[in-house]
Structure 1
Amino acid sequence: MHPAPEPEISYSDFEKVDIRVGTIVGVEPFPEARKPAWKLRIDFGPELGVKKSSAQIAHYDSGRLLGQQVLAVVNFPPRQIGPFMSEVLTLGLPGSHGEVVLILPEGEVPNGGRMF
């Protein structure tokens, strides 16, 4: 079952959310997380650099994640998740079994590109 839609917002509200593409350059286990997760390092290009993210995508093989481009919100304040400081929110959708399915660009694009 899907949650009800959020209230309508203006386009200028949407523009405040900075969603960028980056390439996963590091994947480490996160055994301290309450739900199975990976610690990711994502390269968003020269303007933003490499940022850290905790992502509940432990069902993905770490080898498959390395080099994968993903979308992330880059302008939320950092969030402490256990002993780890997550700097960006890696985006996904609910899969058919409740797992997080990453949102990926269709083809390779330059790191740091902003979603519009």
Structure 2
Amino acid sequence: MTKDHAAASPAISFDDFLKVDIRVGRIVEAAPFPEARKPAIKLMIDFGAEIGVKKSSAQITRHYTPEELVGRQVLAVVNFPPRQIGPIRSEVLTLGVPDADGEVVLLAPDQEVPLGGRLF
């Protein structure tokens, strides 16, 4: 099995799931990230007043351009520690799933929702 089609992970408790803070945000800036080892886009995502605007780097160049990402809502993990990716410090993990070729397709609500809403 490939990593994209691996068997399900071991069972966790509901309390373990609650530790992962997944929120909806809106991409307010997007720019090419040529310094990254793999093709990526730098994102600035607004999660509303409580969390604010956070940086992320996402390997999403196959399906998205920076121009079409601005204004789009996405889901991201907001409580991982920041991670240095090249010259930027990624503060959130923008979530996606693989397409048939293993390329990232972003996760998003299917209708407009308030920024900062937590996944449950």
TM-score by length of 2: 0.94
Question: What is the SS of the residue equivalent to 2:113?
Answer: coil
Per the alignment, residue 52 of structure 1 pairs with: 55
Per the alignment, residue 13 of structure 1 pairs with: 16
Per the alignment, residue 66 of structure 1 pairs with: 70
* Number of residue-to-residue matches in the alignment: 116
Match of 1:84 among 78, 81, 88: 88
Tell me, in whole angstroms, the C-alpha distance in 1 between the residues paired with 2:18 and 2:49.
Answer: 22
Partner AA of 2:106 in structure 1: L
User: Structure 2 unaligned runs (5+)?
Assistant: none
Partner AA of 1:77 in structure 2: P
TM-score by length of 1: 0.97
Tell me, in whole angstroms, the C-alpha distance in 2 between the residues paired with 1:98 and 1:16.
Answer: 27
Moved more, 14-23 or 26-35: 26-35
Tell me, in whole angstroms, the C-alpha distance in 2 between the residues paired with 1:36 and 1:105.
Answer: 25
Tell me, in whole angstroms, the C-alpha distance in 1 between the residues paired with 2:51 and 2:100.
Answer: 33
Structure 1 vs Structure 2 CA RMSD: 0.7
Identity of counterpart residues, as a percentage? 69
Partner AA of 1:89 in structure 2: L
Structure 1 residue ranges, 4+ long, deviating more than 3 angstroms after superposition? none
Question: What is the SS of the residue equivalent to 1:75?
Answer: coil
Partner AA of 1:35 in structure 2: K
Tell me, in whole angstroms, the C-alpha distance in 2 between the residues paired with 1:53 and 1:62.
Answer: 13
